[in-house]
């Protein structure tokens, strides 16, 4: 049933994108993509954004296989432990979930050393939003309130182990403040709770709340990027407030460790090609996806940095969380 | 505003769109009727197909599929005692006994009619009161959601026909099973025995298929060579009688209202609404003894409610850009692909597309009545197939359905395990219905309780700060008291006093 959906999708993209010159992918004419989440979710959105374009440049068919469960852990265990490393299987890898999964749970035992990072494609930056009638107009107001009432300002996140959970802790460490962290089942419920004033703030991701920010039902206080955002130029970054926190939720592609070098280079080249594909950029913008293409070793470095950072954080706080 | 409503209407009324609405409804009926295949799944699979269509066409097809699936679930529930969708679980209680009494056609007709009216009501609510009702959604936070879950749990009491103890046992088992998986607050895996497949908990649909469908298949095989089938002598009509409809209308309107409100609240959907509606239908009924033995009111209530959820769940989606259910989350995804960002401006800036969606829902309900009549007439012929074949077909569908949920064989094994347990429950005379309620509401109750405790800094007083929660909790307390001897004694005492006066 789901393969049929994938088939329908590829069939459709055939109609949309036919007639282009096709290169050959050395590891076969079919590439299986393991997805750790249900069809129709954020990973699927990435697949539907990139795969029609890659299909053209690599000259292959993509077959999506959905293996939801354990916040992606089932698919990534399958990728690292049980998939052929001949370049015929890749997976959509979500960071930091990919690492926090095994950092936090002993029963999940793959690691990024068992993967070949191919490319990161999108990063949805972290953002602090408050209800429209919130007393906090600026991020300074918000931090001042947290200083006055330590541990009492309620802050929603998308769930333990998610990027918002960790960025809250990173901010706590950087500022010395403490918040009351309230986990929700995903970014959506966390944003809804903030809109209804059930929590004081939600640490969320730009893509999920941009519509609400535009209509004024949520007010952004700060974004966790290096530079200010083009779409919200008024919004300060935490970095310019001397809080060195840059975080977000990223999605990209990885293969099992030890795939043939030729196949790896071809895949990387295909993703590099997306960087200056104007049609791709436009499509991504239309779908409110923030491109952050980082290929090969750069993506690998990004994963390793995250692993070190999150392992250290978790080590420090796990006893407190498990109290 | 007026203009946009009309623009939406004219967008829908084209030959292609009407054809796609009928096709989508038919596909929805089919998906709904298959245990394990859900509307959400079908929507996710069809989504890429709509990328190339114009927004009105794509949305019409997706919305009609959603509507169709909400009714489709009742077909298998009534004919085979296997709910095709989680929201049809409550329909089994009275639908299947009717089918056993040779009144499958009548039960399906009532279900179709109730679905139609429920769906239409919610479509009208969507068209007229979406911005008004949408604001209500934001009033429901973790504290209020906890109160709703507690109220829902009290339904277990009223479902326990015969032995209250076995009903409570079944409900408690459901709650227990629902705790399997990662703890939301600490991320600690509980009762997973180190098995990664259990980390995200037991998929509710897997348990549902196992508990209802497998025991039914086994019972059919047991009796295959024994008694004559009653259902094979269907002579009853599909179209309900006018007098019956008139009698059911208050029930359908009430259930539709319950469905709209339950759909509105993110975190609760058709599965919860159908039980609430069933419970209220029973509470308001003059003769409660017929419930569970084949009362048409027990079919009409859950079906009106679960179709009303469609419109209800779309209200926060279009008024605020917050999906009210997993299916509407995918519809929202369809809007995003068309370049429409979710948010409160859906009704204004993108009004033409949004009103198209609303009209599509209304038309899909009319389409449902037409397509449903034909499709259902076909389905009824299932009852002419010998029992042993039906049993094999049920088991095959269950295996496919359980596999399709996560594309994994683990779920198939789990489903069969639940099946054997359900068979044992069946033999022991323990109803699986309270267990299903425990499974649906357990995670909602636990999560919202933990969140409330965090928000309230660990004080139970937080539940008293919300008027909505207080009212709901009082109703829950009243429902529990109503079932105790204390209440009967009180009523007896009061009556004695009034008589004395």
Q: Top-level CATH class of A125-247?
A: alpha beta
Cβ proximity of A131 and A197 under 8 Å: yes
The per-residue pLDDT for A31 is 93
Which of B399, B339, B386 shows the shortest CA–CA distance to B214? B399
Interface test with A, best of B321, B334, B335 (most A CBs within 10 A): B321
Asked if residue B325 has pLDDT above 90, the reply is: no
Q: Name the more confident of B455 and B223.
A: B455
- DSSP letter for each residue of A95-107: ETHHHHHHHH-TT
Minimal C-alpha gap between A305 and chain B (Å): 23
The per-residue pLDDT for A298 is 95
Minimal C-alpha gap between B473 and chain A (Å): 19
CA–CA separation, B358 and B367 (whole Å): 14
Of all residues in chain B, the percent with pLDDT exceeding 90 is 35
B373-396 pLDDT per residue, tens: 888 888 877 777 888 888 888 899
Using an 8 Å CB-CB cutoff, list chain B residues near A188: 266, 322-323, 329
Asked if residue B111 has pLDDT above 80, the reply is: yes
Using an 8 Å CB-CB cutoff, list chain A residues near B143: 198
pLDDT (mean) for B473-496: 80
The per-residue pLDDT for B397 is 87
Distant-in-sequence, close-in-space partners of A81: CB < 8 Å, separation ≥ 6: A110, A114
Minimal C-alpha gap between B53 and chain A (Å): 11
Nearest CB neighbour to A2, from listed B45, B199, B345: B45
A150-180 pLDDT per residue, tens: 999 999 999 888 899 999 999 999 999 999 9
pLDDT (mean) for A208-224: 90
Contact across the interface for A77 and B196, Cβ inside 8 Å: yes
Distant-in-sequence, close-in-space partners of A10: CB < 8 Å, separation ≥ 6: A51, A55, A61, A62
Q: Where in chain A is the domain with CATH 3.40.190.150?
A: 2-123+249-314
Q: Name the more confident of B450 and B34.
A: B450
Contact across the interface for B45 and A8, Cβ inside 8 Å: yes
Half-sphere CA count of B46, side-chain side, radius 13 A: 26
Tell me the average pLDDT of chain B.
Answer: 86
pLDDT (mean) for A142-148: 96
Contact across the interface for A39 and B454, Cβ inside 8 Å: no
Q: Where in chain A is the domain with CATH 3.40.190.10?
A: 125-247
Minimal C-alpha gap between A182 and chain B (Å): 6
Nearest CB neighbour to B44, from listed A40, A185, A198: A40
Q: Name the more confident of A247 and B44.
A: A247
- DSSP letter for each residue of A250-280: EEEEEEETT--HHHHHHHHHHHHHHHT-HHH
Distant-in-sequence, close-in-space partners of B170: CB < 8 Å, separation ≥ 6: B156, B160, B425, B430, B431, B432, B433, B434, B435, B438
- Nearest chain A residue to B335 by CA distance is A287
CA–CA separation, B74 and B89 (whole Å): 8
Long-range pairs for A318-322 at CB < 8 Å and ≥24 separation? Answer: A318/A104, A321/A160, A321/B185, A321/B186, A321/B187, A322/B186, A322/B188
Residue A143 pLDDT grade (very low, low, confident, very high; cuts 50, 70, 90)? very high
Question: What are A175's two structure tokens?
Answer: 């500022």
Contact across the interface for A188 and B142, Cβ inside 8 Å: no
Which of A45, A44, A40, A108 shows the shortest CA–CA distance to A71? A108
Q: Name the more confident of B278 and B330.
A: B278
For A70: left if phi > 0, alpha if psi spans -120 to 50, otherwise beta; the answer is left
Using an 8 Å CB-CB cutoff, list chain A residues near B43: 40
Cβ proximity of B372 and B118 under 8 Å: no
Q: Cβ atoms within 10 A of the Cβ of A228, count?
A: 15
3-state secondary structure B74-128: HHHHHHHCCCCCHHHHHHHHHHHHHHHCCCHHHHHHHHHHHHHHHHHHHHHHHHH
Angle at B78 between CA B77 and CA B79, to 5 degrees: 100
Strand partners, A255: A116
Nearest CB neighbour to A12, from listed B44, B52, B455: B52
The per-residue pLDDT for B226 is 58
B49-103 pLDDT per residue, tens: 887 788 888 888 999 999 999 899 899 899 888 888 888 999 999 999 998 888 8
Contact across the interface for B194 and A40, Cβ inside 8 Å: no
Tell me the average pLDDT of chain A.
Answer: 88
The per-residue pLDDT for A14 is 43
pLDDT (mean) for B154-177: 83
Give the position of tokens 């109160």.
Answer: B147
Contact across the interface for A40 and B185, Cβ inside 8 Å: no
Residue B247: is it exposed, middle or buried by C-beta count within 10 angstroms (0-12/13-18/19+)?
A: middle
Using an 8 Å CB-CB cutoff, list chain B residues near A68: 200, 406
Which spans in B338-483 are helix H?
351-380, 387-406, 409-428, 433-455, 467-482
A51-108 pLDDT per residue, tens: 999 988 898 989 988 888 888 899 999 999 989 999 999 999 999 999 999 998 888 8
B332-379 pLDDT per residue, tens: 878 877 777 767 777 777 888 888 889 999 999 999 999 988 888 888
- Nearest chain A residue to B332 by CA distance is A40
Q: Name the more confident of A32 and A9.
A: A32
Contact across the interface for B267 and A9, Cβ inside 8 Å: no
CA–CA separation, B260 and B191 (whole Å): 36
The per-residue pLDDT for B161 is 62
The per-residue pLDDT for B288 is 81
Which spans in chain A are helix H?
2-17, 42-58, 73-82, 97-104, 139-148, 163-175, 187-195, 206-215, 261-275, 278-286, 296-321
- DSSP letter for each residue of A134-156: -S--SHHHHHHHHHHSTTTSEEE
- Nearest chain A residue to B320 by CA distance is A212
Q: DSSP letter for A248, please.
A: E
Interface test with A, best of B326, B343, B449 (most A CBs within 10 A): B343
Query: How far is C-alpha A115 from the geometric centre of its chain's CA atoms?
Result: 17
- Nearest chain A residue to B333 by CA distance is A40
Question: What are A109's two structure tokens?
Answer: 């035992």
Q: Name the more confident of B303 and A29.
A: B303
Q: Cβ atoms within 10 A of the Cβ of B392, count?
A: 13
Minimal C-alpha gap between B99 and chain A (Å): 30
Cβ proximity of B147 and B449 under 8 Å: no
Cβ proximity of B69 and B32 under 8 Å: yes
Q: What is the pTM of this model?
A: 0.86
Query: How far is C-alpha B416 from the geometric centre of its chain's CA atoms?
Result: 23
Instruction: Mean pLDDT check: name the lowest of A191-195, B101-105, B170-174.
Output: B101-105
Residue B156 pLDDT grade (very low, low, confident, very high; cuts 50, 70, 90)? confident
Nearest CB neighbour to A193, from listed B141, B330, B447: B141
The per-residue pLDDT for B299 is 94
Minimal C-alpha gap between A237 and chain B (Å): 23
B121-138 pLDDT per residue, tens: 999 998 888 888 878 888
Long-range pairs for A53-58 at CB < 8 Å and ≥24 separation? Answer: A53/A17, A53/A274, A53/A277, A53/A279, A53/A280, A54/A270, A54/A271, A54/A274, A55/A10, A55/A13, A55/A17, A56/A17, A56/A20, A56/A22, A57/A23, A57/A270, A57/A273, A58/A23, A58/A25, A58/A31, A58/A266, A58/A267, A58/A270
Contact across the interface for B333 and A40, Cβ inside 8 Å: yes
Residue B501 pLDDT grade (very low, low, confident, very high; cuts 50, 70, 90)? low
DSSP 3-state percent helix, strand, coil across chain B (nearest 5) = 75, 0, 20
Cβ proximity of B367 and B21 under 8 Å: yes
- DSSP letter for each residue of A26-50: TT-SEEEEEESS-TTSHHHHHHHHH
Angle at B466 between CA B477 and CA A156, to 5 degrees: 120
Contact across the interface for A286 and B339, Cβ inside 8 Å: yes
- Start-to-end C-alpha separation, chain B: 61
Q: Top-level CATH class of A2-123+249-314?
A: alpha beta
Give the position of tokens 């997993």.
Answer: B326
Residue B236 pLDDT grade (very low, low, confident, very high; cuts 50, 70, 90)? low
Using an 8 Å CB-CB cutoff, list chain A residues near B318: none
A230-289 pLDDT per residue, tens: 889 999 999 999 999 999 999 999 999 999 999 999 999 999 999 999 999 998 887 778
Interface test with A, best of B39, B40, B45, B409 (most A CBs within 10 A): B45
């Amino acid at each position: 049933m789901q393969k049929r959906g994938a088939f329908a999708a590829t069939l459709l993209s055939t109609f949309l994108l036919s007639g282009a010159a096709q290169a050959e992918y050395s590891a076969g004419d079919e590439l299986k993509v393991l997805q750790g989440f249900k069809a129709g979710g954020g990973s699927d959105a990435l697949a539907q954004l990139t795969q029609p374009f890659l299909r053209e440049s690599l000259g292959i068919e993509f077959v999506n296989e959905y293996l939801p469960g354990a916040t992606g852990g089932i698919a990534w265990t399958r990728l690292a432990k049980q998939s052929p490393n001949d370049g015929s299987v890749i997976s959509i890898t979500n960071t930091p979930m990919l690492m926090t999964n095994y950092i936090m749970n002993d029963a999940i035992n793959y690691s990024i050393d068992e993967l070949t990072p191919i490319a990161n494609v999108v990063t949805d930056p972290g953002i602090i939003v408050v209800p429209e009638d919130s007393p906090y107009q600026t991020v300074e107001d918000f931090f001042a309130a947290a200083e006055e009432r330590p541990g009492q300002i309620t802050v929603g996140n998308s769930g333990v182990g998610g990027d918002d959970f960790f960025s809250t802790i990173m901010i706590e460490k950087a500022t010395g403040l403490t918040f009351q962290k309230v986990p929700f089942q995903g970014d959506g419920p966390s944003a809804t709770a903030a809109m209804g004033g059930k929590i004081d703030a939600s640490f969320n991701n730009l893509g999920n709340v941009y519509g609400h920010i535009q209509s004024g039902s949520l007010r952004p206080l700060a974004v966790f990027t290096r530079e200010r955002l083009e779409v919200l130029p008024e919004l300060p970054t935490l970095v310019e407030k001397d809080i060195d926190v840059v975080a977000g939720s990223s999605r990209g592609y990885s293969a099992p460790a030890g795939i043939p070098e030729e196949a790896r280079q071809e895949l990387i080249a295909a993703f590099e090609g997306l960087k200056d594909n104007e049609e791709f950029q436009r499509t991504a913008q239309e779908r409110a996806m923030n491109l952050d293409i980082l290929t090969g070793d750069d993506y690998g470095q990004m994963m390793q940095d995250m692993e070190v950072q999150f392992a250290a954080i978790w080590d420090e706080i796990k006893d407190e969380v498990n109290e | 505003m007026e203009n946009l409503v009309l623009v939406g209407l004219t967008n829908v009324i084209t030959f292609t769109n009407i054809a796609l609405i009928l096709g989508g409804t038919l596909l929805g009926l089919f998906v709904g009727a298959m245990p394990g295949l859900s509307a959400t799944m079908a929507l996710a699979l069809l989504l890429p197909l709509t990328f190339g269509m114009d927004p009105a066409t794509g949305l019409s097809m997706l919305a009609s599929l959603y509507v169709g699936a909400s009714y489709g679930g009742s077909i298998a529930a009534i004919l085979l005692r296997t709910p095709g969708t989680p929201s049809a679980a409550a329909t089994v209680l009275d639908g299947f006994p009717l089918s056993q009494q040779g009144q499958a056609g009548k039960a399906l007709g009532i279900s179709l009619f109730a679905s139609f009216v429920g769906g239409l009501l919610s479509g009208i609510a969507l068209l007229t009161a979406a911005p008004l009702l949408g604001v209500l959604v934001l009033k429901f936070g973790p504290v209020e959601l906890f109160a709703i879950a507690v109220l829902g749990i009290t339904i277990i009491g009223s479902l326990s026909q015969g032995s209250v103890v076995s009903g409570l046992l079944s409900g408690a088992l459901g709650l227990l099973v629902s705790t399997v998986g990662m703890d939301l607050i600490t991320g600690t895996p509980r009762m997973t025995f180190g098995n990664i497949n259990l980390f995200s908990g037991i998929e509710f649909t897997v348990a549902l298929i196992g508990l209802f469908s497998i025991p039914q298949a086994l019972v059919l095989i047991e009796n295959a060579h024994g008694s004559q089938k009653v259902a094979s002598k269907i002579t009853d009509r599909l179209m309900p009688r006018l007098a019956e409809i008139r009698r059911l209308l208050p029930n359908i309107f009430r259930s539709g209202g319950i469905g709209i409100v339950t759909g509105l609240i993110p975190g609760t959907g058709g599965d919860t609404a159908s039980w609430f509606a069933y419970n209220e239908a029973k509470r308001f009924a003059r003769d409660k003894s017929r419930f569970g033995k084949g009362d048409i009111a027990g079919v009409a209530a859950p079906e009106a409610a679960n179709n009303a959820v469609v419109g209800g769940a779309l209200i926060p989606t279009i008024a605020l850009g917050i999906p009210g259910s997993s299916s509407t989350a995918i519809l929202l995804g369809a809007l995003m692909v068309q370049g429409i960002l979710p948010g409160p401006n859906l009704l204004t800036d993108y009004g033409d597309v949004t009103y198209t969606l609303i009209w599509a829902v209304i038309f899909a309900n009319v389409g449902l009545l037409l397509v449903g009549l034909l499709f259902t007439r076909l389905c009824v012929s299932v009852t002419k197939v010998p029992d042993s074949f039906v049993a094999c077909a049920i088991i095959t569908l269950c295996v496919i359905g359980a596999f399709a949920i996560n594309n994994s064989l683990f779920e198939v094994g789990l489903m069969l395990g639940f099946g054997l347990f359900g068979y044992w429950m069946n033999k022991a005379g323990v109803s699986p219905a309270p267990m299903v309620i425990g499974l649906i509401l357990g995670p909602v109750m636990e999560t919202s309780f933990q969140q409330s405790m965090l928000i309230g800094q660990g004080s139970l007083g937080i539940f008293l700060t919300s008027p909505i929660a207080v009212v709901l909790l009082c109703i829950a307390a009243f429902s529990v008291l109503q079932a105790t001897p204390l209440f009967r004694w009180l009523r007896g005492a009061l009556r004695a006093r009034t008589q004395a006066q």
